[in-house]
A and B are shown apart, each in its own frame.
Chain A
Amino acid sequence: MNFGRVKRLSRGKVQVSHDGSKMEEVDNIFIHTLREIGCGLDDDVQSLKHFSTENIVEATVKCLRVIGDGVNISPALPPGMSARYRVGTQLATSCQELGFRGDIGYQTFLYSNEADIRRVLMFLMEKMPKETAEAASEPMGKSAMLKRSIAAELDKQMKSAWTPSYCKQDGLCWRGTKPRQWHREGLSGVKRFHSCPVRSPEGVGDITKKTPKEFKRYYDKHLQPLTSQPPQGSQVVPSVLEANELSVTAQQEWETEWNQHGLPSRLSQEDYKARKRQRLEKRISDQLRQAIQQETSKATAGRDLLQMLSSFTDRGVGKGVTKGSRFTHTEKLQFAQDEETAAQMMGEGPRVDTEEEMQRKREEEVEQLRGQLEEVTGQLQSLDVEMKKFTAGIQQMEEKVNTEVRGRSDKEEAYKVKKRTLDLLPDAENNITKLQGVVDGSSQRLVNLAQQWEKHRVPLIQQYRELKELNANRESQSEKKLEEIKSLREKMKEVADEARGKDDVYKQLASEYERMTKDVNRGAYTKRIMEIVGNIKKQKEEIDKILIDTRDVQKEINQLTGKLDRTFAVTDELIFRDAKKDEAVRKAYKSLAALHENCEQLIKTVEETGGILREIRDLEDQIETEGAKKTTQNLDRIQGDFKQMKQENSSIMAKLKGK
Chain B
Amino acid sequence: MRTAAPVKGRTIMAAELRQDLLGKVDGDRFETLLHEIVDWVCRGAAPSYQPYSQTWDLDSWWHVLNSTKSFLLLAVKENLSKDGVLEHLTGLDSDHQQCFLQVITSRKEDIRLALISATAAISQGALEDLDWQVKLVLSSDKISSVQKPVLGLDLAVNKEGQRESLSLELSQEEVASLVTQLEAANKVVTQMKT
Contacts and interface: CB of A to CB of B under 8 A. Distances in A.
Interface of A: 146, 150, 192-197, 199, 212, 214-215, 217-218, 221-222, 229-231, 238, 242, 257, 261, 276, 280, 283
B1 interface: yes
Contacts of B113: 197
Nearest to A215: B106
- Most interface-central of B107, B114, B129, B138 (chain A CB within 10 A): B129
A250 B102 CA distance: 28
A194 B129 contact: yes
Interface of B: 1-2, 31-32, 35, 39, 42-45, 101-103, 105-107, 110, 113-114, 129-131, 136, 138, 154, 156, 165, 192-194
Contact of B32 (A194, A215, A222, A280): A222
Given A194-B1, A214-B102, A199 B110 contact: yes
B138 A150 contact: yes
B131 A193 contact: yes
A253 to B, nearest CB: 8
A146 B135 CA distance: 12
Contacts of A261: 194
B2 A193 contact: no
A231 B2 CA distance: 12
Contacts of A192: 131, 154, 156, 165
A126 to B, nearest CB: 39
Contacts of B154: 192-193
B187 to A, nearest CB: 13
13 contacts: A192-B131, A192-B154, A193-B156, A196-B1, A196-B43, A197-B2, A197-B114, A214-B102, A218-B106, A230-B43, A231-B44, A238-B129, A276-B193
Contacts of A214: 101-102, 105-106
Given A197-B42, A214-B101, 5 more contacts: A196-B42, A222-B32, A229-B43, A231-B1, A276-B193
Contact of B102 (A217, A230, A283): A217
Contacts of A283: 192
Contacts of B32: 222
B106 to A, nearest CB: 4
A236 to B, nearest CB: 12
A194 B103 CA distance: 27
Contacts of B129: 193-195, 238, 242
B194 A257 contact: yes
A197 B43 contact: yes
Contacts of B43: 196-197, 229-231
B175 to A, nearest CB: 17
A217 B106 contact: yes
A196 B103 CA distance: 20
Nearest to B130: A193
A199 B108 CA distance: 12
Given A218-B106, A238-B129, A196 B138 contact: no
Contacts of B114: 197
A218 B109 CA distance: 13
A150 B42 contact: no
B193 A280 contact: yes
Given A192-B154, A257-B194, A218 B45 contact: no
B2 A218 contact: no
B2 A196 contact: yes
Contacts of A217: 102, 106
Contacts of B102: 214, 217-218
Given A150-B136, A192-B154, A197 B110 contact: yes
A221 B32 CA distance: 9
Contacts of A199: 42, 110
B76 to A, nearest CB: 14
A199 B31 CA distance: 18
Nearest to A246: B113
Contacts of B156: 192-194
Contacts of B45: 231
A146 B192 CA distance: 42
A411 B131 CA distance: 76
B44 A196 contact: yes
Contacts of B193: 276, 280
Contacts of A212: 105
B35 A222 contact: yes
A193 B132 CA distance: 9
Nearest to B35: A222
A379 to B, nearest CB: 40
Nearest to A187: B133
A238 B110 CA distance: 18
A195 B129 CA distance: 7
Most buried by A among B39, B103, B154: B39
Nearest to A191: B131
Contact of B136 (A146, A197, A257, A276): A146
Nearest to A198: B43
Contact of B107 (A194, A218, A221, A238): A218
Contacts of A276: 193-194
- 3 nearest A-B residue pairs (beta carbon): A193-B131, A231-B45, A218-B106
A220 to B, nearest CB: 11
A212 B103 CA distance: 13
Nearest to B102: A214
Contact of B35 (A150, A193, A218, A230): A218
Contacts of A231: 1, 43-45
B70 to A, nearest CB: 20
A274 B45 CA distance: 35
A150 B137 CA distance: 11
Contacts of B106: 214-215, 217-218
A252 to B, nearest CB: 12
